[in-house]
Structure 1
Amino acid sequence: MYTVEVTLRGTPLSLAVQRKELSDAETLYRTIVDSMKTTAPNLLELTCEKETDKKIGVLVSEITAVQVSEKGGGPSKGGFTGFGV
C-alpha cells in the first residue's frame, strides 16, 4: 500500500489517501503537482482505495506539499494522521 500525503497551508495535520499500486500513487502525485502549477483556484477531489467510501475536496491553491511513501504491513512507518489512514 502506498500513501500520498498532502500538506495544506495553515493546517498542522496532513491529508493522506492510499493507493494499492506504486504506479497509481505516482499518477496521483503527478496530478496534484501539476494542479499546483496552475494559477486558477481549482478543486481537487481525492479518494482513498483503502477506505473507498471516503473522499475529500481540496482547494489546490492551499496545498503546500505532496509526497508519496510506502506503508509497510507491520508497525506504522510514518505515523500518518489525517484522511484515509
Structure 2
Amino acid sequence: MFTIDLTLKNTPFPVSVQRKSAEEAEVVYKQILEAMRSGNPDIVELTCDRQGEKKVAIRASEISGVQMSQKDSAAAGKTPGFFSLAEST
C-alpha cells in the first residue's frame, strides 16, 4: 500500500490518500505536482483506495508539499512525513 501525504498551508496535519500499487500512487503524485505547478485544476479531488468512502477536495494553491511513501509492516507505527522525529534506539 502506498500513501500520498499532502501538506497544506496553515494546517498542522497532512491529508493522506492511499493507492494499492506504485504505478497508481505515481499517477496521483504527478497529478498533484502538475496542479501545484500550474494552478490548474483549481480544485484537486482525491479518493482513497483503502477507504472508498474517503474523499477530499483541496484547492491546488493551498498545497505546500506532497510526499509518496510505501506502507509496509516494518514502517508500522512510524509517523509519515518529512517532519518525523528520528527514531530512538
Report the TM range for the smaller structure's normalisation: 0.7 to 0.9
Aligned residue pairs total 80
- Higher relative contact order (Cα pairs below 8 Å, separated by 6+ residues): 1
Taking structure 1 as the reference length, the TM-score comes to: 0.85
Greater radius of gyration (CA)? 2
Change in CA separation of 1:39 and 1:50 when aligned onto 2, cut-off 3 Å: closer
The one-character-per-residue Cα deviations of 1:43-72 (angstroms, maximum 9, x if unpaired) are: 010100000011010000000000100011
Moved over 3 A (4+): none
**Of Structure 1 and Structure 2, which has the larger fraction of its residues in helix?**
2
Which consecutive residues of structure 2, in runs of 5 or more, have no partner in the other structure? 82-89
Contact 1:71 1:77 (8 Å CA) reproduced = no
